[in-house]
Amino acid sequence: MTSQKFPVLVTGGAGYIGSHATLALREAGWPVVVLDNLSTGFRWAIPDDVALVEGNIGDAAIVDCVLAEHKIGAILHFAGSILVPESVADPLKYYDNNTASSRILIERAVAAGVKHFIFSSTATIYGDVEQMPLSEDLPPSPINPYGTSKWMTEMMLRDVSAAHPINHAVLRYFNVAGADPEGRTGQSTAGATHLIKVACEAALGKRDSVAIFGDDYATKDGTGVRDYIHVSDLADAHVAALDWLVANSPDNLLANVGYAHGATVNEVLDAVDRVTNMKIERRLQGRRAGDPAALVADNSRALNVLGWTPKRDDLDGIVRDALAWERKLADRR
């Protein structure tokens, strides 16, 4: 752990993962500034002692102002669009929000002399690969524009770090779920498609059922397998990655962040049934475009290089935290 606590910019810091990372950074002693356009984030998700700048990462003037005014030394980049089916239907939105805007952010970071950059990437980059768990050494082969848009940003960071004095960490997430155990923030976006959030909404009567998109995959029960990681564990991985970048400059890092085991859709819904002591209605639908059969992490690099230790690897516990947040969110609204 480094003793250098310079200001850190969190893009998308009012959103789901970004707000948890902001909390983790503050608890580790890092001064934090949030840049968010609040299109899917919430002002109340940001702690009172964290400055919020409302704006887009693709607005060079706003980015320049934030980086200079707050003397930013590192950027944690979460801002972007994240829905796979939407990316298939509207790919240009994803190449704009996720790729073109990231190019502007990276350019302005270089111009401002920012030394460290952590990028919120995705396991979707691997595509539909039969080999499990997924290793960072596998060649990227995204099967949807969302994954491709993220991969393009990874390549930009690779090339920029080779040409300029900025090092970076790319963290490829698997399926992020749960909420802050202290109830400070959680997945709050209306119409979210994350399975555990959708199931918790159904358990609280906000939905009448949960859709299962395909039961003919080559998995134990025919439904898709995903590696579900608690969002607070993921946030801790970002703090570890920042410490690593500062200590190991100019080296860069690519690491999967997951638990190295997966659960099927039915297994997740079984967990929600257990935790809520009720039976959620399940409705079978066809496969969604761009969905691979399984995504499970080889997380050995994050464990060994970052020294990251997951603390919340328990599906029922993830569901309990998500359910508690969903109840709190209902009261807030």
Domains and CATH numbers, the chain: 8-178+229-257 (3.40.50.720)
How far apart, in whole angstroms, are the C-alpha atoms of residue 210 and residue 221? 17
Collect all residues with Cβ–Cβ distance below 8 Å to 271 and sequence separation of at least 6.
263, 315, 316, 319
How far apart are alpha carbons 253 and 118 in whole angstroms? 9
Residue 145, preceding peptide bond in cis (omega within 30° of 0): no
Q: What tokens appear for 173 in the block? A: 């997430």
Specify the residue for token string 């609040």.
Answer: 38
- What is the distance between the alpha carbons of residues 270 and 107, in angstroms, rounded to a whole number? 46
Q: What pLDDT score was predicted for residue 37?
A: 97
For 14-23, 189-198, 233-242, 306-315, which range has the lowest pLDDT when averaged over its residues?
Answer: 189-198
The percent of residues in the chain predicted with pLDDT above 70, rounded, is 98
Mean pLDDT of all residues in 7-18 = 98
- Using an 8 Å Cβ cutoff, are 117 and 74 in contact? yes
Span 293-321, mean pLDDT?
Answer: 97
Three-state SS for the chain is CCCCCCCEEEECCCCHHHHHHHHHHHHCCCCEEEEECCCCCCHHHCCCCCEEEECCCCCHHHHHHHHHHCCCCEEEECCCCCCHHHHHHCHHHHHHHHHHHHHHHHHHHHHHCCCEEEEEEEHHHHCCCCCCCECCCCCCCCCCHHHHHHHHHHHHHHHHHHHCCCEEEEEEECEEECCCCCCCCCCCCCCCCCHHHHHHHHHCCCCCCEEEECCCCCCCCCCCEECEEEHHHHHHHHHHHHHHHHHHCCCCEEEEECCCCCEEHHHHHHHHHHHHCCCCCEEEECCCCCCCCEECECCHHHHHHCCCCCCCCCHHHHHHHHHHHHHHHHHHC
pLDDT value of residue 170: 98
Residue linked to tokens 């709190």 = 328
Buried b (16+ CB within 10 A) or exposed e, 250-286: eebbbbbbbbbebbbbbbbbbbbbebbeeebebeeee
Residues 125 and 173: beta-carbon distance below 8 Å: no
User: Which of residues 237 and 82 earns the better pLDDT score?
Assistant: 237
Q: Whole-prediction pTM value? A: 0.95
The model's pLDDT over 75-91, given as tens digits with 9 standing for 90+, comes to 999 999 988 889 999 99
pLDDT tens-digit readout, 274-290: 999 999 999 999 998 77
Q: Would you place residue 333 in the very low, low, confident or very high pLDDT band (cuts 50, 70, 90)?
A: low
Give the pLDDT confidence of 149-188 residue by residue, as tens digits.
999 999 999 999 999 999 999 999 999 999 999 999 999 9
Residues labelled as active-site residues: 146
In angstroms, the CA 92 to CA 108 distance is 23
Express each pLDDT in 13-58 by its tens digit.
Answer: 999 999 999 999 999 999 999 999 999 999 999 999 999 999 999 9
The answer to whether the beta carbons of residues 83 and 150 sit under 8 Å apart is no
Mean residue pLDDT of the chain comes to 95
pLDDT in tens, 204-218: 999 999 999 999 999
At 220-235, the pLDDT tens digits run 999 999 999 999 999 9
